[in-house]
Chains A and B, each alone.
Chain A
């Protein structure tokens, strides 16, 4: 299993002498004994006791130094970021930050970033590129803030620019969907070379409530909308939107923040060890192909199934020149 994920055989010495055991990553929905219902996944992903970005950052990384502000308008508390060490080496981290209490949620705007939050994220992306540091993002948002202040300051432009910047950022990017991956506001942090999701995370084009109020004309139909949207971890694996799920401790991530953080740390180190062997040009063309390949099309009346994407482990292996 380990070989399958990391693409390295056990005989191959790891570059830094530390090849972590991440045998627990879930790379196929077949590996899961049972599937939670979509609505259960939505509830789990939104659980207020779930570890949020700073809970994970403080447990996974050492010497975290936060970086504030977009240099234009203000510091958005719904996005946190900075420099820290992962296993002794510096990385750049950007995460969407929800609160663990109502009070904190008001301060963090329930994890819904304003445009200046995304502009802070872009500033951190560029910093990672400039200093050749890997970028790690933690996605956890119901969506970008949809209010009038966001519109005035260019919410759409800020999100577009963030996605655009990530598509060609010349440094490895590992994305972890931590809880809620709400639409464009999530994608602004989620264009990566490796996209992982927590076992109970969700990722969707619109919130179940939003799609219920548009398609069923009633937010009360959110449960049905969640099921139709195929937004839970196993669905995301089946659709190829994420590469692997990080298993959560029994009872869910909220039951044990430390154990959750350990699983994330193991997964991150393993992925970065793989990615650092790949030349940046190969990484960028592979990132292009990855996102280029999404979509299902029927051409000339005949259903064309897009060619199955090369599995992550084989892609990395090929790029690392291991055959």
Chain B
């Protein structure tokens, strides 16, 4: 590449360079491979809509609570007012907030599904994300379905202050009811998942699956180094590290995710099917 110019044969709209191995990937082929590098298995981040599509049975997704968007309980202003920040994120993403929810089936198993989108304000969890997951859990309880949540988030949304913090207790209250009712909850953790999302629903699935190489940490880098003043080793807080420490059940490649979720859901539904033991 003389003088740092891109060679003409790799125009941006057709090719993507894998940040992990440097391979030039043909966009169409990358999309067909669910945004996973065919050479090194690097998992690119996925938008919520694409995630739904790859995870549920084709055509089974019926979106719920699509119109929910956030208020501004604190009148929060940093470099710009919070409502402007939301409006900008809505315009950029076409989504109302950092999660979409709906009913679907996965391998024939009926589920309530919530998928977070890191592109929307860092996937931060405020009133809307809290409400969507809570409603999904309540629907799952009423319909006796499983709940599946795909996390991708920097944590609680600072612009909603303690009310964002309260979403953690709100969601976990609903998950406790699911648990009491013997209904499955599968948590899928993707890159990146940190802060209050990890310190609440992402860490409490009956089964917790993560994608390879995902950053999964309680504290953000800046918070840790600001408070503790130490640099962390490379690879610290990635999925592989958490699996080794015992906080994940499996690391699952995106290409096998639907099948794997379906396996667990089917097994947990055994009691309502012909597969049951007489217990």
Q: Residue of B at shortest CB range from A211?
A: B158
Report the Cα distance A203→B79, complex, angstroms. 23
Interface string of B172-198 (1 = CB under 8 A from A): 111111001000000000000001101
Known A147-B230, A160-B204; judge A216-B79 contact (CB<8 A).
yes
Tell me if B203 and A297 are in contact (CB < 8 A): no
* A-contacting 9-mer, from B14-22, B34-42, B128-136, B261-269: B128-136
Tell me if A156 and B198 are in contact (CB < 8 A): yes
Tell me if A291 and B161 are in contact (CB < 8 A): no
Report the Cα distance A205→B134, complex, angstroms. 19
5 more contacts with CB within 8 A, not counting A167-B173, A236-B162, are A156-B217, A210-B227, A294-B167, A297-B127, A299-B67
Tell me if A206 and B170 are in contact (CB < 8 A): no
A302 to chain B, nearest CB (A): 10
B226 to chain A, nearest CB (A): 6
Which residues A130-158 have CB closer than 8 A to chain B? 143-144, 146-148, 150-157
Known A151-B236, A187-B168; judge A214-B222 contact (CB<8 A).
yes
B78 contacts A by Cβ under 8 Å: yes
Tell me if B176 and A187 are in contact (CB < 8 A): no
Known A151-B217, A228-B74; judge A205-B196 contact (CB<8 A).
yes
Known A157-B203, A160-B172; judge A183-B218 contact (CB<8 A).
no
Tell me if A163 and B79 are in contact (CB < 8 A): no
Secondary structure at chain A's binding surface: helix, strand, loop or mixed?
A: helix
Residues in B whose Cβ lies below 8 Å from that of A11: none
A124 to chain B, nearest CB (A): 18
Tell me if B204 and A241 are in contact (CB < 8 A): no
Tell me if A163 and B71 are in contact (CB < 8 A): no
Tell me if A146 and B71 are in contact (CB < 8 A): no
Q: Residue of A at shortest CB range from B175?
A: A164
Tell me if B162 and A203 are in contact (CB < 8 A): yes
- Select B218's contact among A150, A210, A241, A294, beta carbons within 8 Å: A150
Known A157-B203, A184-B196; judge A291-B72 contact (CB<8 A).
no
B156 contacts A by Cβ under 8 Å: yes
B187 to chain A, nearest CB (A): 10
Tell me if A292 and B173 are in contact (CB < 8 A): yes
Tell me if B72 and A184 are in contact (CB < 8 A): no
Known A151-B236, A214-B222, A228-B77; judge A294-B200 contact (CB<8 A).
no
Residues in B whose Cβ lies below 8 Å from that of A231: 161-162
Q: Residue of A at shortest CB range from B129?
A: A295
Tell me if B78 and A228 are in contact (CB < 8 A): yes
Interface string of A284-323 (1 = CB under 8 A from B): 0001100110111111110111000000000000000000
A229 contacts B by Cβ under 8 Å: yes
Report the Cα distance A288→B163, complex, angstroms. 15
Known A292-B173, A296-B73; judge A219-B226 contact (CB<8 A).
yes
Report the Cα distance A295→B164, complex, angstroms. 7
A186 to chain B, nearest CB (A): 8
Interface string of B33-58 (1 = CB under 8 A from A): 00000000000000000000000000
Q: Which of B130, B218, B227 has the most CB of A within 10 A?
A: B218
B228 contacts A by Cβ under 8 Å: yes
- Select A297's contact among B71, B168, B196, B217, beta carbons within 8 Å: B71
Q: Residue of A at shortest CB range from B224?
A: A146
Known A147-B228, A157-B247; judge A287-B173 contact (CB<8 A).
yes
B257 contacts A by Cβ under 8 Å: no
- Per the CB 8 Å criterion, the residue count for chain B at the interface is 65
Known A144-B218, A167-B173, A209-B226; judge A154-B163 contact (CB<8 A).
no
B29 contacts A by Cβ under 8 Å: no
Tell me if B176 and A160 are in contact (CB < 8 A): no
Known A146-B227, A298-B69; judge A205-B165 contact (CB<8 A).
yes
A95 to chain B, nearest CB (A): 19
A213 contacts B by Cβ under 8 Å: yes
Tell me if B173 and A288 are in contact (CB < 8 A): yes
Q: What are 9 A-to-B residue pairs whose CB atoms are below 8 Å? A: A146-B218, A147-B227, A166-B169, A168-B173, A239-B161, A287-B173, A292-B170, A295-B167, A299-B69
Tell me if A205 and B162 are in contact (CB < 8 A): yes
Residues in B whose Cβ lies below 8 Å from that of A183: 156, 165, 196
Report the Cα distance A177→B247, complex, angstroms. 30
Report the Cα distance A239→B163, complex, angstroms. 8
Tell me if B237 and A160 are in contact (CB < 8 A): no
Interface string of B233-276 (1 = CB under 8 A from A): 00011000000011100000000000000000000000000000
Known A164-B176, A297-B70; judge A148-B130 contact (CB<8 A).
no
A146 to chain B, nearest CB (A): 4
Interface string of B100-138 (1 = CB under 8 A from A): 000000000000000000000000001110110010000
B199 contacts A by Cβ under 8 Å: yes
Q: Residue of B at shortest CB range from A304?
A: B71
In order of increasing CB-CB distance, the 10 nearest A-B pairs are A295-B127, A296-B71, A146-B219, A294-B166, A156-B198, A156-B218, A156-B199, A215-B78, A167-B173, A205-B165
A174 contacts B by Cβ under 8 Å: no
